[in-house]
Amino acid sequence: MAKDEDSSLKILNEDRYGAGCVAINEQAVNVEAEELNRSVDSLTTENEISLLLKAVSFLDLTTLSSDDTKANVTQLCCKAVAPVPKEIVKRHGKNDDSKLTTASVCIYPNRISDAKSALAQLGSALPVAAVAGGFPSGQYPLSTRVSEVAFCVDEGADEIDIVIDRSLVLNHQWEKLYSEVLNMNAAGKGRKVKVILATGECGSLENVFKASLVSMHAGAPFIKTSTGKETVNATIPVGIVMCRAIKLFYKTKGIKIGFKPAGGIRTYKDILVWMLLIKKELGDSWLNPSLFRVGASSVLSSIVDRLEELNSLIKTAE
């Protein structure tokens, strides 16, 4: 019996994906999640500022509204290119923070050209990510979902966030899940493809773990928690389980897979907890935009407000 370090996850027997039967101790996972939530409050002011500036660089700044227009996508791009007041970056940032931006902007396929145009006018090479694959439900024929991915490539998307058909997870149709991820990833033609598991609709933590492994074996360079449209989106227990799957895949295959929580991440404390989770489960090497992203639309405002608050406290104390 293979066993993880803390007995919260046990692999009872292996299949081609590395975990044919998995037992997860949800109580142990929840205890770890609670500890991570508490640990944010023990950060020093300087450490918190440093982490929050770093957090900005992980953001896939997102708008996925049915009433998106060229105007609000342009506004999103402007915010992504200059997300934090220059005074704060100059005072507290490191040398490589002088041109601090978010990691990308994330939009619908029809808005790709708007984003590319806006970023070009801003003189920015910021990556453009688009959602595809029957987003958000995945309840469309695979052929049309693959075509959506191809459309994003043709429009110039640098990254593509695809969504899986959750019924395949709920019915344990792992070969079909493997095939659809393989096909959509191939249609991405080398773009950074992030596979959205929509974990709130996967039924169990065991299913989340297995779906993570299947997606990675199918070539996914990134796995993502949620579309942001589910009733339950990114949760810390789910994040722990997905990170354990990433850790197992790296241990057995030697390949580092990226991780992206998304949905329900609204406050600066939320994003700090996710960063501490990555540091604990995967290590500092994962805390860079090539391996860690956060999907959010409103958290940037909370981060900036907190940075301004901390900056004022420091100036007052001087």
* 60 included as an active-site residue: no
The answer to whether residue 90 is catalytic is: no
Are 275 and 261 a contacting pair, CB within 8 Å? no
Band (315; pLDDT cuts 50, 70, 90)? confident
Residue 147 sits at the vertex; the CA angle it makes with 58 and 211, to the nearest 5 degrees, is 55
Q: Which residues contact 262 (CB under 8 A, 6 or more apart)?
A: 60, 62, 196, 224, 225, 226, 227, 228, 233, 234, 294, 295, 296
Of 138, 116, 145, 143, nearest to 129 by C-alpha is: 116
Helix axis angle, 45-56 relative to 268-281, nearest 10°? 90
Please tell me what DSSP assigns to residue 278.
H
Q: What is the pLDDT of residues 149-179, one digit of tens each?
A: 999 999 999 999 999 999 999 999 999 999 9
Answer yes or no: are the C-beta atoms of 262 and 58 closer than 8 Å: no
Angle at 14 between CA 194 and CA 204, to 5 degrees: 55
How much is the pLDDT for 7?
A: 59
pLDDT at 18: 58
Q: Which CATH number fits domain 2-317: 3.40.50.880, 3.40.640.10, 3.40.605.10, 3.20.20.70?
A: 3.20.20.70
Catalytic residue among 165, 224, 247, 270: 224
Q: How does pLDDT run across 231-281, given as a tens digit for each residue?
A: 999 999 999 999 999 999 999 999 999 999 999 999 999 999 999 999 999
Confidence class of residue 13 from pLDDT cuts 50, 70 and 90? low
Q: What is the CA radius of gyration of the chain?
A: 19
pLDDT tier, 139 (very low <50, low <70, confident <90, very high otherwise): very high
Give me the catalytic one of 161, 165, 192, 270. 161
pTM for the structure as a whole: 0.94
Residue 184 CA to chain centroid, in angstroms?
A: 18
| Predicted local confidence at residue 10, as pLDDT | 65
For the chain, give every domain's residue range: 2-317
pLDDT at 15: 66
The pLDDT value recorded for residue 12 is: 56
CA atoms of 115 and 158, how far apart (whole Å): 11
Q: How many helices (H) and strands (E) does the chain have?
A: 12, 11
- The per-residue pLDDT for 94 is 75
Residue 45 region by backbone torsions, left for phi larger than 0, else alpha for psi between -120 and 50, else beta: alpha
pLDDT digits over 44-95, tens only? 999 999 999 999 999 999 999 999 999 999 999 999 999 999 999 988 887 6
Q: Give the residue with greater pLDDT, 140 vs 9.
A: 140
Task: Find out whether the peptide bond into 141 is cis, omega within 30 degrees of 0.
Answer: no
Residue 229 predicted with pLDDT over 60? yes
d(CA 274, CA 295): 12
Who contacts 91 (Cβ-Cβ below 8 Å, separation ≥6)?
A: 311
Active site residue 192: no
State percent of the chain over pLDDT 70: 93
- Report the mean per-residue pLDDT for the chain: 93
Q: Which of 54, 194, 210, 260 is catalytic?
A: 260
Helices marked H in the chain — which ranges?
Answer: 26-39, 45-56, 70-81, 86-92, 112-121, 142-155, 166-170, 174-187, 205-217, 236-253, 268-281, 299-317
Tell me 284's DSSP state.
Answer: G
What is the rounded CA–CA span in Å between residue 115 and residue 129?
A: 10
Task: Decide if pLDDT at 6 tops 80.
Answer: no
pLDDT of residue 1: 32
pLDDT of residue 23: 80
Alpha-carbon torsion, ordered 103, 109, 111, 115, to 10 deg: 30
